[in-house]
Chain A
């Protein structure tokens, strides 16, 4: 395992800037997730770290050593790709051995490493099969095994679960987490799925428009977002954001500079209690029952907001209800989307 430093990392494709000066330090053995919408530059940052793209300017260090001019293989990294990127003409064993053979590893050591990885990932019975004969989950395990046998200082994951079905994704997520606990390598993991980010990460870097908007633990980002973008990106369903004036009737006092107010679905009550800010009446337009909870979509002042409502006494579609929101759970943002307190 090794520390990773990004120092003023910039990358442009032609005259289009993709990364606009990234400063980021990833601790040794840390599981860092880069999360953000499509086109935010997260995959480019990962590919720069892997050595698959060239830096426009800035510096990247792995374990204190600048890796700017080094080819991927000399960086001590291993990467798991979105589409697995297995060698289709080789068996699972040959896929796992390929990198080791190139590194001139002895036969005995190669067999030991491949067998260990296969055992850890439950691939012992698949070693003589070709990738075309495997399921999506098995392919992803082989891709992880191929990364593991190289014993890298840093594991790179580029949206590894996005091709799997929902159930398998949850299982593989747990496996990746367990794997990290065992191998204790530094992990840089790219995803656009904030649930994946929240459940896997030691820390999350939320990226937007080529910059890191906020870096923090999952709960820090959830409870203390610095920008409206982070507030809305982290959390499912998304935070509701409305003009601050919509809350003035309820008697809310807002800080100087505030333009918008945000509150998470779980902060809304459909039966307001005494301390809540009274938001007035809203119409139920859709109810999504999830078993333990319900997401209630409401039309309030001609805009749609989502409330989380636990319990069985859900109003029917078309019915009116009184909305309340916990005053301490309201976030305020200025015109630029920055949080004001």
Chain B
């Protein structure tokens, strides 16, 4: 590559990003891959090459399969509502310009606060005796569950917080996608005799399919990587009901100090997400229309 202009300035501007990405993304990722093939002494950090042993014991570990199952289920119950609800919200906001800015801000607020803060807020709301959620249910004559401690409800409670946090981010992308559809294309369809529903399904949705693919991929990756709210709301409990792959990985790496074993899980998580993304892009090839 040939540089025209100020080379030192170019290098100076790019260097901070390259340095940060190397230190916090590239090095940990490669180190993790390296550690996955080693047994790591908990405190001395001594390394012993063990080949695929970590992966073998992982595949025979009940905790691993259980956490994978939880992760997959958690992905379904968060990605689908997060995508569908944010699409609906974006469609409503796009059609009704009144207070659009205000609603966008309200929807975006949860995104702007940290997961730890969000989780703390929801701990108050979920409190079975003093929380608002059960108070409201009580008012309408329903006895609310023990949201975070009941094994039947815990994962849905965490999912609710995750969806609540995710929606605003997705809405922004969907609104950008919707605003990029030329007004006259919709008008042409209207003149052609398409009802509002028909226009939604035949024009709007196909034309925002690239946005939909992007939002779905990002939501899926986010749902697999969720950590903060699980750590604060349930700590992976009750009885492992909310122990996702990432939470299991955290437990193995930083509580049980099985760094090599945890690294193997990180590699598998990466492979899973990569595989899922590739599959999504392949499936989408036929259904996503880029301009």
A interface with B by C-beta (< 8 Å): 50-52, 71-73, 77-79, 81-83, 85-89, 98-99, 102-103, 132, 146, 150
Contact = CB atoms under 8 A, between A and B. Distances in A.
A102 B193 contact: yes
Interface of A (DSSP majority class):
loop
10 tightest CB-CB pairs across the interface, nearest first? A99-B192, A89-B289, A73-B193, A85-B184, A85-B188, A102-B193, A72-B191, A81-B184, A89-B206, A85-B185
A102 B207 contact: no
Nearest to A50: B191
Contacts of B189: 87, 98
B32 to A, nearest CB: 41
Given A79-B188, A82-B184, A102-B198, A87 B193 contact: no
A71 B207 contact: no
B182 A83 contact: yes
B203 to A, nearest CB: 7
Contact of A77 (B191, B198, B206, B289): B191
A72 B184 CA distance: 13
A113 B185 CA distance: 22
A132 B191 contact: no
Given A73-B190, A79-B187, A99-B191, 15 more contacts: A50-B191, A51-B191, A72-B190, A78-B191, A79-B191, A81-B184, A81-B187, A85-B188, A87-B188, A87-B203, A98-B189, A98-B194, A102-B192, A132-B291, A146-B192
Contacts of B188: 79, 81, 85-87, 146
Contacts of B209: 89
Interface of B: 182, 184-185, 187-194, 198, 202-203, 206-207, 209, 289, 291
A52 B198 contact: no
A28 to B, nearest CB: 21
Nearest to B192: A99
Interface centre among B187, B191, B209, B291 (most CB of A within 10 A): B191
A150 B182 contact: no
Contacts of B187: 50, 52, 72, 79, 81, 85
A291 B202 CA distance: 52
Nearest to B185: A85
Contact of A87 (B185, B190, B191, B198): B185
B190 A71 contact: yes
Nearest to B206: A89
Interface centre among B182, B189, B193 (most CB of A within 10 A): B193
Contacts of B190: 52, 71-73
Given A82-B184, A132-B291, A88 B207 contact: yes
A87 B204 CA distance: 10
A291 B191 CA distance: 45
Nearest to B187: A52
A89 B287 CA distance: 10
A152 to B, nearest CB: 9
B98 to A, nearest CB: 15
Contacts of A88: 185, 207, 289, 291
Contact of B192 (A52, A73, A82): A73
B185 A86 contact: yes
A83 B289 contact: no
Contacts of B192: 73, 98-99, 102, 146, 150
Contacts of A73: 190-193
11 contacts: A52-B187, A78-B191, A81-B184, A85-B188, A86-B185, A86-B188, A87-B188, A88-B185, A88-B207, A89-B206, A102-B192
Contacts of B289: 88-89
A150 B189 CA distance: 13
A50 B182 CA distance: 18
Nearest to B289: A89
A222 to B, nearest CB: 33
Given A85-B188, A86-B185, A99 B193 contact: yes
Interface centre among B187, B192, B203 (most CB of A within 10 A): B192
Contacts of B185: 85-88
A246 to B, nearest CB: 47
Contacts of B194: 98, 102
A48 B125 CA distance: 52
Interface centre among B188, B194, B289 (most CB of A within 10 A): B188
Nearest to A75: B191
Contacts of B198: 102
Contacts of A86: 185, 188
Contacts of B184: 81-83, 85
B97 to A, nearest CB: 13
B268 to A, nearest CB: 37
A87 B203 CA distance: 7
B193 A89 contact: no
A82 B187 CA distance: 12
